[in-house]
Amino acid sequence: MAADALFALGRGESVISWVENYKSCLQDRPETLSPIARDTWREALGDVSRVADWVAFFDRELTEAPWEDVVREWIPKLAPALMSAATHGLIRTSHAVRSLALSQTTHRIHELAQGLGYWAARYQVLPGKPSERDAGKMPSDALEHVRRVHGPDFQARGLISEQVKGLDEEPGFAGAIDLVGTVGDLSQFISDLTETFAKIYLANHKGLVAFVHTVTAPSALRMLKPYLLESDARLAARYAWQACAAIYAWYSATAPSLSLDLTPPAEDFDDIIDQAVAVGGPHTIKFTEACLREYALNPKPVYLVAARDAAERVGPV
């Protein structure tokens, strides 16, 4: 993911050294247990012990059909669990798709299988299912109706995906998915979502890695949007909002004002990118790339301020 982001940032010359430094963070490749059949795949959803089986399953799917068809079929099936692995299933899949759109290679096809397989193996849904009702609100308007669970003294410990399971005990959260509407311009909806949560990221002093995903995840969905049916993309956007709202509800220490008057940083794009590359953190690199990509579509200073901030506060994580 970070390697693809480096290419997108125009820093391809940094990829090999970054990968070499990151190797120590990688785990051994898991072994397959038993093949996943096409008629019983639901039984294996969320079984992390079968991640290798899931990757093998998608390797087969991608051998039998064009990758675009596989994406169009499977993203809607996985979208209800957009929160899976703290949204990394979605993010890894989207980076693989962007690479494939540039050039189709065997390695890139397998990377897509890895992303989809990881998503399926870590399948995790949040409380609440979308109804037929469309509230018509944008995320920036809907956020005030999401109740925060904790106060400023809260200290989150453990994986994001484990933390947000606490929302299962918060009955009020289930309705959050119906607070927004995606009947209008979907690109504008995603822009409002990423802009809103870039402000939430800046307003908070704890849980920064969690808030990074509230920008990178919906921005990742934007990269998948061209390969989805319109109705599937709109539904996935509601799940993206749900995931962001979950992180806000669980992690945000304050109810920040979204009417921030921000001044763009003095650094230009190249300086901001260089700072992220120098720090080297995968979350910082991905966040910086997503913020600059979102800024190109919605030129608000908050994206540049957030990207500049990540090199300091998120750093090498």
> What is the rounded average pLDDT of the residues 88-106?
98
pLDDT tens sequence across 62-81: 999 999 999 999 999 999 99
> What is the rounded average pLDDT of the residues 302-315?
97
pLDDT above 90 (res 26): no
pLDDT above 90 (res 130): yes
pLDDT tens sequence across 200-257: 999 999 999 999 999 999 999 999 999 999 999 999 999 999 999 999 999 998 877 7
State residue 136's pLDDT score.
76
Taking the C-alpha atoms of residue 97 and residue 90, their distance in angstroms, rounded to an integer, is 11
Least confident range from 139-153, 225-239, 252-266: namely: 252-266
pLDDT above 80 (res 9): yes
State residue 257's pLDDT score.
76
Q: pTM to 2 decimals? A: 0.96
pLDDT above 80 (res 138): yes
State residue 221's pLDDT score.
98
pLDDT above 80 (res 31): yes
258 vs 115 pLDDT, higher one: 115
State residue 132's pLDDT score.
82
CA angle 46, 52, 58 (to 5 degrees): 85
State residue 260's pLDDT score.
74
Band (pLDDT 50/70/90 cuts) for residue 43 is very high
Taking the C-alpha atoms of residue 79 and residue 237, their distance in angstroms, rounded to an integer, is 9
pLDDT above 80 (res 98): yes
Band (pLDDT 50/70/90 cuts) for residue 179 is very high
Ranges of each domain in the chain = 31-121, 139-251
State residue 30's pLDDT score.
86
State residue 256's pLDDT score.
74
pLDDT above 90 (res 34): yes
State residue 306's pLDDT score.
97
Residues 83 and 63 sit within 8 Å (Cβ to Cβ)? no
State residue 297's pLDDT score.
98
pLDDT above 90 (res 258): no
pLDDT tens sequence across 270-291: 999 999 999 999 999 999 999 9
For the chain, what is the mean pLDDT? 95
Please write down the HEC assignment for all residues of the chain: CHHHHHHHCCCHHHHHHHHHHHHHHCCCCCCCCCCCCCCCHHHHCCCHHHHHHHHHHHHHHHHHCCHHHHHHHHHHHHHHHCCHHHHHHHHHHHHHHHHHHHCCCHHHHHHHHHHHHHHHHCCCCCCCCCCCCCCCCCHHHHHHHCCCCCCCCCCCCCCHHHHHHHHHHCHHHHHHHHCCCCCCCHHHHHHHHHHHHHHHHHHCCCCHHHHHHHHHHHHHHHHHHHHCCHHHHHHHHHHHHHHHHHHHHHHCCCCCCCCCCCCCCCCCHHHHHHHHHHHCCHHHHHHHHHHHHHHHHCCCHHHHHHHHHHHHHCCCC
Taking the CB of residue 9, how many other CB atoms lie within 10 A of it?
A: 22
Closest by CA to 198, choosing from 143, 146, 237, is: 143
